[in-house]
Chains A and B, each alone.
Chain A
Amino acid sequence: MIERVYDVFARKHRGDQLSHIGYVDALDDEMARVYAWKTYDEENWFEMCVIRRSNIIPVNRQGSPFSGSKGESG
């Protein structure tokens, strides 16, 4: 079974900006949702979302931690 890297974004209040708070490794999107919610539960988040790192499109820096397949194991 191959895990993917998912980046986790969240905001504490409705008006806050969504911030990158960390990442999780997961086998699929559903597991990533739960792992993110359970791993980053130190705050009472208003909103949290996850995105597959491979779906992030780099704009000005290739090879950075968030550039597509970098850090992906699958």
Chain B
Amino acid sequence: MKELLDIRDLDGPGIGALRRLILTLADSKRIMGIRYSDWLLGAPSIEAGIAISSMAQDEWGHARLLYAMLKDLDLEPLTIEHERPAEEYTSVGALDSAFEHWAGIVAAMTVVDEAISVALLGFSRGRYEAARTRVPKMLAEEEFHASLAKAWYRRIAGSSSKARSLLRDSTKELLPPVLAWLGADDAAAKAMVTEGVTESSQSMTEVYRARLRDLTALVEVNIDQAQPCGGWDEDRARGPGCPDEDAIERARGDRNRALLVE
């Protein structure tokens, strides 16, 4: 068992790197939840709608727990959750826009949610105590997300050529921003590996590719040939762009601001 991290031992850049890591995980979870919530009533069956509704709530619960960790680093979670503009969100770029069809959300469930889980797994194995204690339960809940994702991915891959084509296109579109996010190897990412807070981007990317290799092959996508997108933004730990304004208004809870209860 690795010795626990004492945050007081981190220097300024180290604190910044840990804040960035937590924030990008939390923001990605929150926007993943928004994308799931788009399908509460449009899923192919009542059961699928109930499942994705529950998964949206899981993501928001996980996001809330991750945002709360920022208190350890002298950041106020309430401000972070409810007051930032879209341009300050650090969520993985693959979630910037809503998914227009069921194949798209299944691809996101598979390609994006799995990447977030792999990043969380690395975080849970590190020296930061809050991650060690809180993340394993998230990962246990995520096992059901992964099961549903794989079942639907296989189902669509084995159905009509049109459906398979939609799944293939969505997979190809989502992989580059996801690989850039998971494979980040800049100074802040390296600092977190050096401090033992998380695992290397290379090892996490290998785990990720191994988990999805057989699945994406079903739609003729070779995950080993997929490449990360460019335009990495070190401050936001993501590629270019930002989530659409509608998603951010919902994420911030703008409509219910007057009723905010904490």
Q: Which residues of A are interface residues toward B (Cβ below 8 A)?
A: 1, 3, 24-28, 30-31, 33-35, 37-39, 41
Q: Is the CB of A37 within 8 A of B150?
A: no
Q: Is the CB of A27 within 8 A of B50?
A: no
Q: Which residue of B lies closest to A24 (CB)?
A: B47
Q: Is the CB of A37 within 8 A of B144?
A: yes
Q: Which residue of B lies closest to A34 (CB)?
A: B148
Q: How far is the CA of A45 from the CA of B174 in the complex (A)?
A: 35
Residues of B within 8 A of A38 (CB): 50-51, 53-55, 144
Known: A25-B47, A34-B151, A38-B51. 9 other contacts (CB 8 A): A3-B45, A25-B45, A27-B155, A33-B144, A34-B148, A35-B47, A35-B48, A35-B50, A38-B50
Residues of A within 8 A of B54 (CB): 38, 41
Q: How far is the CA of A1 from the CA of B48 in the complex (A)?
A: 14
Chain B's interface: helix, strand, loop or mixed, by majority? helix
B99 contacts A by Cβ under 8 Å: no
B225 contacts A by Cβ under 8 Å: no
Q: Which residue of B lies closest to A32 (CB)?
A: B47
Q: Is the CB of A30 within 8 A of B47?
A: no
Q: Which residues of B are interface residues toward A (Cβ below 8 A)?
A: 45-48, 50-51, 53-55, 144, 147-148, 150-152, 155, 159
8 CB < 8 A contacts A-B: A25-B45, A27-B155, A28-B155, A30-B150, A31-B151, A34-B51, A38-B53, A39-B50
Q: How far is the CA of A25 from the CA of B144 in the complex (A)?
A: 17
Q: How far is the CA of A41 from the CA of B53 in the complex (A)?
A: 12
Q: Is the CB of B159 within 8 A of A31?
A: no
Q: How far is the CA of A38 from the CA of B58 in the complex (A)?
A: 11
Question: Which of the residues B53, B55, B148 comes within 8 Å of A31, measured between beta carbons?
Answer: B148
Q: How far is the CA of A60 from the CA of B246 in the complex (A)?
A: 58
Q: How far is the CA of A38 from the CA of B53 in the complex (A)?
A: 9
Residues of A within 8 A of B45 (CB): 3, 25
Q: Is the CB of B151 within 8 A of A28?
A: yes
Residues of A within 8 A of B147 (CB): 30, 33-34
Residues of B within 8 A of A25 (CB): 45-47
Known: A39-B47, A41-B54. A34 touches B144 (CB 8 A): yes
Q: How far is the CA of A65 from the CA of B144 in the complex (A)?
A: 29
B153 to chain A, nearest CB (A): 11
Residues of B within 8 A of A26 (CB): 47
Q: Which residue of B lies closest to A41 (CB)?
A: B54
Residues of B within 8 A of A27 (CB): 151, 155
Residues of A within 8 A of B55 (CB): 38
A30 to chain B, nearest CB (A): 4
Q: Is the CB of A1 within 8 A of B159?
A: yes
Residues of A within 8 A of B148 (CB): 30-31, 34
B53 to chain A, nearest CB (A): 8
Among A27, A28, A41: residue with most chain B CB under 10 A: A27
Q: How far is the CA of A1 from the CA of B155 in the complex (A)?
A: 9
